[in-house]
A and B are shown apart, each in its own frame.
Chain A
Amino acid sequence: MRYLPKSPSERTEMLADIGVKSIDELFVSIPEKFRLTKPLNLPGPLSESEIIRYFQDRAAENTRGYTSFLGAGVYQHLRSVVPDALIQRGEFLTSYTPYQAEYAQGTLTAIFEFQTLMCQLTGQEVANASMYDGSTALTEAILMTERVTGRHSVLIARSVHPEYRQVAHTYAKNLGLEVEEIGFTESGQLDRSKLTKEKLSKVAAVVVQSPNFFGVLEDIPALAESAHAHGALLVTATTEAVSLGIVKPPAEADIVAMEGQAFGIPPSYGGPYVGVIATRDKFVRQMPGRLAGQTTDSEGRRGFVLTLATREQHIRREKATSNICTNEALYALAATIHLCLIGKEGIREQAHQNLSKARFAQAELLKIPGVKLAFSGATFNEFTLEFPRSVKLLNAALLKEKIIGPYTLGVHYPELTKRGVVCVTETIPRAEIERFAATVRTTLEQPI
């Protein structure tokens, strides 16, 4: 077998060296009645070309040739070929977690750069590297607020990504942490009238997403002020990280939980992506996840090490801030490389292109009779429209034209079946936006 570097005679010689007659002797500690006597029923073995064929066949069963207006937490953005080439260097791809710092300075230096970039983007003082994804980063941020404040409930906006909220509920319910959901107003923002003094003085945090699931920007400074006035923290999630190229960063928030997929990481049907938690310096010891820190060796040379490990499970076991061990280091590296390439000018230009394209699409779609903007709040590259019929029906028609239409809010908000979230990134050419609008128009002109 091509991955196994031993000849049959070497195996025999090694067994003799060990002093056993057959390989089976090395498995005698397994009770005999549990030892398998026949081969497993598995497909294969396949040669390399057969493996490629299998996956090409699967790829052909997916969506080739469709134009997609889906965002909802995962975004199609332009990527350079460079990050992928660099992360496939064996020294990055096939190295372990950098516990042995002297032999892992490459990974550690890159992690330190990632942490810096995340701080610059979010307006926060310290960022970790990394969490599994945005949904678990948000959940861990919520658990962190409980440790910081000693309070045992949080308020979470219904305009936070529904699957993120589901993850938060899964974790919270077994820990006796109460999670109360707060609705939204006509602007699409969290309903601040529900943030009463009585509530705020009991909760560990107010949790919002911005841009939120409807695409609407939340008023972070005002929310932070309300929360802080009553001893609560403000946690913000960001699923569309490219927005930070042009949208004011959530600097007033106490913890930012971010999904970094938008930074050059392919959608890959749901992962792997890269989650990040960024926060204030004063909360760093309550933070989960790995951190690289700068230090020196005995001769005063700069170097980097994993630090503040007394927060982590391999040292603290049941007293750790989290159970996270393996994270998403390789994709933190990919995001770092991407951000270095696109740079200071590029990140702003990319965000500006998204904003311009989304506004163009919005204007085109709003020309269609019966199509209305669902929320009045400011948006980035996603916006919610109200259609004269259910989005599910509309999308079925769009699929025939090889268009994957708006995200159907009815899936998670039963009262919003006629509303859909449209996402337009810099990857969608103007002609496709126009074709999309024209197809929506002709579809809506036809009776159901």
Chain B
Amino acid sequence: MNTKVTDVEAPAPSQVRKVRQHVNQNEGLIFEHSLPGKRGMELPPLDVPAVDPVKELGAAFTRGSVEGFPEVSEIEVIRHFTRLSTWNYAIDLGMYPLGSCTMKYNPRVNEYVARLDGLATEHPEQPVELSQGCLRILYDLKQCLLEITGMDAATLQPAAGAQGELAGLLMIRAYHESRGDARRTVLIPDSAHGTNPASVVIAGYEVKNIKSNDRGQIDTDHLREFCTPDVAALMLTNPSTLGVFEERIAEISDILHERGALLYMDGANMNALAGVTRPGDFGVDVMHLNLHKTFSTPHGGGGPGAGPVMVKKILEPFLPAPVVMRKDNGTYALDHNRPQSVGRVRAFVGNFGVLLRALAYTLAYGPGIRQVTEDAVLNANYIRKNLEGLFDLPYDLPSMHEVVFSDAKQKAHGVNTMDIAKRLIDYGFHPYTTAFPLIVPGAMMIEPTESESREELDMFIDAMKSIAAEAESNPELVKTAPHSTRVGRLDEVAAARKPILRWKP
């Protein structure tokens, strides 16, 4: 590394209001603490006669001890994982401006109620009459989601958004096939999330990509041309991944419906719409929600999520079985008798613990969910207004919950979106989303969510302004960031070329 750069590696203290560096602990892998005879959890003594495994299972079925398994005490486990945790960034530490990811506050009460005895303890195969509380939670959530989306029926089974996409596509397929009109193709705009085309393939369809127009929106003339009798559906993200509402949504839905195709909406950006407008009202036939985005369930470093799918009446017969229902006598049940169902996409009822948290979130706001949407859109527009001019805005359209800049101006100094994103770390912020959507070269996709105060937004804006200045005055500094983390930029090429995917002694 160039010594001139290391001399000035951190921003001057006056520039950074949010963070300063402090000591953090070194820590090896847990296996490196292991010594024979240590343990971190004890079991009560066995209160029945101990059997001989070899006699009971047969020598061929019995294993020796698990080679390499850790042997550590409780305090070592606590320190190990606490130290690791301090190497992460988190919403609880500050703004997490990842566009499209909707990193909002995860209310603590949701964690509390998910762990209650009588909820966390329940077995999915226990009798329905002893599961009325669980089933009512599922039913109440379903009703809330239907009201928010304006749809008619729902499944809560899919484990995440991508699985919801698959479930929705399978219902579309079953619908067309039930009409003796099997179709082969699904249209996807070039601005879509990568899961959309991947899900289409797993549903057994072919992907046809359609180009966005110069406004980043669906070109309706193009759509008319592409929407042949072979097209089963269009998968549309609305607002789009540019954070822009599809202004011609009614026309889009009419074009599809006239041709017998359906409109699938990727609900990843529902946090721009909740309480303001309803997809069911603007022609959507099927959609999924990502409860770990709009409905605040914690992302947990990659999951779990939940991906409920909402449909219009015409698709209800095809919902994955079983479906949660309320009987006329007021009790709750699981309806397994669904002869036209696409089948099961996951064992049991779904990610109950995630669904429960989403209900807790919805109940906290009630109709006030509209204020959440308004604040998210207000925050995105505030950032846009304050950074416009410093960063290139490739699509000058009204932003909703997120704003997409590009690195065009900084490119002139050899600084790209990834460099700026990494430099944000030195200012105490998580990077925004880089290089997505694909229709924006050098995209910088920023989504603040409703959870940010004006103070936090102002610090973010200051950081971005400061980095823009650095990109001109000292591009090397930005290109080699981050400078304040435990490790510098890691060699991803080497990691992929000769993968080391497990610890070995």
B225 at the interface (CB under 8 A from A): no
Min CB–CB distance A285 → chain B (angstroms): 9
Stretch at the interface among A31-39, A194-202, A440-448: A31-39
Cβ of B66 and Cβ of A344 under 8 Å apart? yes
Bound complex: CA A72 to CA B123 (Å): 10
Given contacts A55-B113, A270-B350, A399-B127, contact A360 B48 (CB under 8 A): yes
Do the beta carbons of A14 and B304 come within 8 Å of each other? no
Nearest residue, chain A, Cβ from B70: A340
Is A17 part of the binding interface, using a Cβ–Cβ cutoff of 8 Å? Answer: yes
Q: Any chain A CB within 8 A of the CB of B413? A: no
B41 contacts the other chain (CB 8 A) = yes
The total of Cβ contacts below 8 Å across the A-B interface reads: 692
A51 contacts across to B, CB distance below 8 A? 109, 113, 360, 363-364
Q: Identify the stretch in B8-16, B309-317, B370-378, B465-473 within 8 Å (CB) of chain A at 4 or more residues.
A: B370-378
Cβ contact within 8 Å between B354 and A272 = yes
Q: Is the beta-carbon distance between A58 and B137 smaller than 8 angstroms?
A: yes
Contact A134 B347, beta carbon cutoff 8 Å: yes
Contacts of A18 in B (CB 8 A): 378, 381-382, 385
B178 sits at the interface (CB 8 A): no
**Interface digits, A274-311 against B, CB 8 Å rule (1 contact, 0 not)?**
00000000001000001111111111010111011110
Q: Is A74 an interface residue (CB 8 A)?
A: yes
In the complex formed, the residue of A with least CB distance to B39 is A343
Q: For A271, list chain B residues within 8 Å (CB).
A: 124, 159, 304, 346, 348-354
Q: Which residues of A contact B219 (CB under 8 A)?
A: none
Chain A residues contacting B57 (CB-CB under 8 Å) are 217, 246-247, 355, 378, 380
State how many angstroms separate the Cβ of B152 from the closest Cβ of chain A.
15
Q: Which of A51-75 contact B (CB under 8 A)?
A: 51-52, 54-64, 66, 68, 70, 72-74
Chain B hits for A174, CB < 8 A:
170, 173, 202-204
- Given A5-B453, A42-B366, A100-B421, A433-B48 contact (CB < 8 Å): yes
**Is B48 touching A357 in the complex (CB atoms < 8 A)?**
yes
- Give Cα A80–Cα B74 distance, bound, in whole angstroms: 10
Q: Which secondary structure dominates chain B's binding surface? A: loop
Knowing A36-B278, A116-B502, A320-B194 touch, does A346 contact B345 (C-beta < 8 A)?
Answer: no
A120 engages B66 (CB within 8 Å): yes
Contact flag A95-B89 (CB < 8 Å), given A103-B431, A130-B303, A326-B304: yes
Nearest Cβ in chain A — how far from B29, in angstroms? Answer: 6
Complex: A389 Cα to B472 Cα, angstroms:
82
**B199 contact set on A, CB distance < 8 A:** 323
Known A-B contacts A115-B502, A120-B68; A322 and B122 likewise in contact (beta carbons under 8 Å): no
Residues of B within 8 A of A120 (CB): 66-69
Give min CB distance, A423 to chain B, whole Å: 10
Taking CB atoms, residues of chain A closer than 8 Å to B486 are: 102, 105, 301, 303
Query: Most chain-A Cβ atoms within 10 A of its Cβ — which of B31, B122, B398?
Result: B122
**Is B210 an interface residue when CB atoms closer than 8 A count as contact?**
no
Expressed in whole angstroms, the minimum distance between the Cβ of A58 and any Cβ of chain B is 4
B90 within 8 A of A: yes
The reply to whether B375 and A97 form a contact with Cβ atoms under 8 Å apart is no
- Interface flags for B391-427 (1: CB within 8 Å of A; 0: not) read 0000001101000000000000000000001100100
Contacts of A39 in B (CB 8 A): 275, 367, 370
B224 surroundings in chain A (CB, below 8 A): none
Knowing A31-B250, A106-B88, A318-B197, say if A291 contacts B126 (CB, 8 Å).
no
A119 interface hit (Cβ, 8 Å): yes
Residues of A within 8 A of B223 (CB): none
Q: Who on chain A is nearest to B200 by CB? A: A318
Q: Which of B28-48 contact A (CB under 8 A)?
A: 29-31, 34, 36-44, 46-48
Tell me which of A148-156, A159-167, A226-234, A368-376 binds B.
Answer: A159-167
Q: Which of A219, A323, A328 contacts B303 (CB 8 A)?
A: A328
Type the 1/0 row for B139-179, where 1 means its CB is closer than 8 Å to any CB of A: 01000100110000000000111110110001001000000
Q: With an 8 A cutoff between CB atoms, is A184 at the interface?
A: no
A380 CA to B53 CA in the complex, in Å?
10
Whether B226 is near chain A, meaning CB under 8 Å from some CB there, is: no
**Does A29 contact B278, Cβ atoms closer than 8 Å?**
no
A109 and B127 form a contact (CB under 8 A) = no
Partner of A326 from B46, B303, B398 at Cβ < 8 Å? B303
Distance to closest chain B CB from A154 (angstroms): 16
Contact yes or no, A176 B204, CB < 8 A: yes
1/0 contact string of B84-120 vs chain A (CB within 8 Å):
1111111111001010010101110101111111111
26 contacts between A and B (CB under 8 A): A39-B370, A41-B147, A48-B364, A62-B119, A89-B81, A91-B90, A100-B431, A102-B487, A105-B88, A268-B352, A268-B353, A270-B348, A290-B302, A291-B499, A295-B490, A301-B488, A307-B492, A313-B197, A317-B197, A323-B202, A325-B193, A326-B302, A326-B305, A329-B301, A378-B56, A395-B127
Closest 7 interchain pairs by CB?
A: A44-B366, A330-B300, A59-B118, A90-B92, A270-B348, A329-B302, A170-B343
